[in-house]
Amino acid sequence: MAAVPDTNLTLADWAKTRDPDGSAAAIANLLSQQNDILENMTFVEANDATSHTCTVATGLPAVYWRSFNEGVMPSKGTTAQITEDIGMLQTFSEVDSDLAELQNDLGVFRLGQARLRLSAMNNQMASSIFYANSAVNSNKFMGLSSRFSDSSAANGQNIVKASGAETSNAQTSLWIVGWGDETVFGTFPKGSSAGLVQNDLGKGIVDVFDASGNYTGKMMAYQDHFKWSMGLVVKDWRYVVRVCNIDVAELSGLTGAQLPGSNASITTYANLLHSATDATYRIQDLGMVNAAIYCNRTVHSALNRIGLETHSSAVTFEQGVTQFGTPKRFMKINGIPCYRSDAIVNTEAVVA
């Protein structure tokens, strides 16, 4: 699918516009390299420090046919305002100053020590994009699964059931998202550095605890504070499609409803590739967005195998590079890039 890079800024793009010394941009690049969804999802600066409010269309204006010398009644559409919360994820890094000062490059060593914390933040944020529920935990934003969890809801037409065995808590999902600043995007607090802020707290005294949580005394340490504030805005739900109820057991063996090839006992969209193809046609207008497919490695592998076994032209592979210049082989489903996200679990509940 054609991208719109001039208008669809990623997390790394925003960081580069706000950080003259390059530190926040470097961290944003690091996070994006560890998480494909951050590399290609659109980000928009919020219009508030803790949330983003936008106006969505809920009804179209009336239009009329007319002939010469006849008037046309004015009309207007209907709109509603929605407010999306921004969650605030934080962690601290403390490095023994005596150990740090033995290194040739203090800054590189401290960032290396902080990588585990950054990876933990990255994993938590990726999981939140798919599974966070601000109605359950008000400190978080609302993720995709919480919005697309009921096929009888207004957005239920964008929920495709893969018709697997539907074993309780043994399902997974595939997502198609049409990123764009008028459709679906990530957001960060107004005036902040792309949502991710690193505060170098310098060298100071910290309390030390052992693995069991017992206090052992104090030490001098270099400290860093990391804060990542982000929200998810679904301005137009027609640009998100969930393929749910993918039974992991059937998928792993390509049996039952996920058996490749013709099978008269299988419903039309039961096979994963059929479901994914159907889902691509439920995106309102693929030409106006940066569309991407997200699935975990179980689904990614199965799509590859189904494509090979059925010789389907719907599954293709292309050589390319990431925005960081790293060579990468991309899978595409009906021309839409398909990215692997291990944040999508194999233990989802059945979607009714």
Start-end of H helices in 167-296: 248-253, 272-280
Give residue-wise pLDDT tens across range 103-149: 888 887 887 777 778 888 888 999 999 999 999 999 999 999 999 99
- 158: which 2 tokens? 């964008």
DSSP-based three-state secondary structure for 217: strand
pLDDT for residue 333 = 92
pLDDT at 116: 77
Pairing of strands 215-234, 78-96: antiparallel
Per-residue b/e over 14-48, b at no fewer than 16 CB within 10 Å? bbbeebeeeebbbbbbbbbbbbbbbbbbbbbbbee
Q: What's the rounded Cα separation, in Å, for the pair 259 and 279?
A: 19
With beta carbons less than 8 A apart as the criterion, state whether 231 and 87 touch: yes
Specify the pLDDT at position 118.
80
In this prediction the pTM is 0.82
> How far apart are alpha carbons 79 and 68 in whole angstroms?
32
Q: What is the pLDDT of residue 183?
A: 95
The span from the CA of 202 to the CA of 97, in Å, is 10
User: Which parts of the chain register pLDDT below 70?
Assistant: 1-35, 164, 194-196, 257, 259-270, 320-327
Predicted confidence at residue 290, as pLDDT, reads 93
Helix, strand, coil shares of the chain, percent, nearest 5, are: 30, 35, 40
**Residue 50 is encoded by which pair of tokens?**
């803790």
Tokens of 145: 């699964």
Domain ranges (residues) in the chain: 11-57+78-340
Per-residue model confidence (pLDDT) at position 265 = 47
Which pLDDT value is given to residue 24?
53
20, 34, 40, 284 from 324: Cα distances, Å: 19, 12, 12, 30
The one-letter amino acid code at 31 reads L
Q: In angstroms, rounded to a whole number, what is the distance separating the alpha carbons of residues 304 and 311?
A: 10
Secondary structure of residue 196 in the 3-state scheme:
strand
Q: Which amino acid is at 120?
A: A
Rg (CA), the chain: 23
Q: What is the pLDDT, as a whole number, of residue 86?
A: 94
What is the per-residue pLDDT for 192? 81
The pLDDT, as a whole number, for residue 250 is: 85
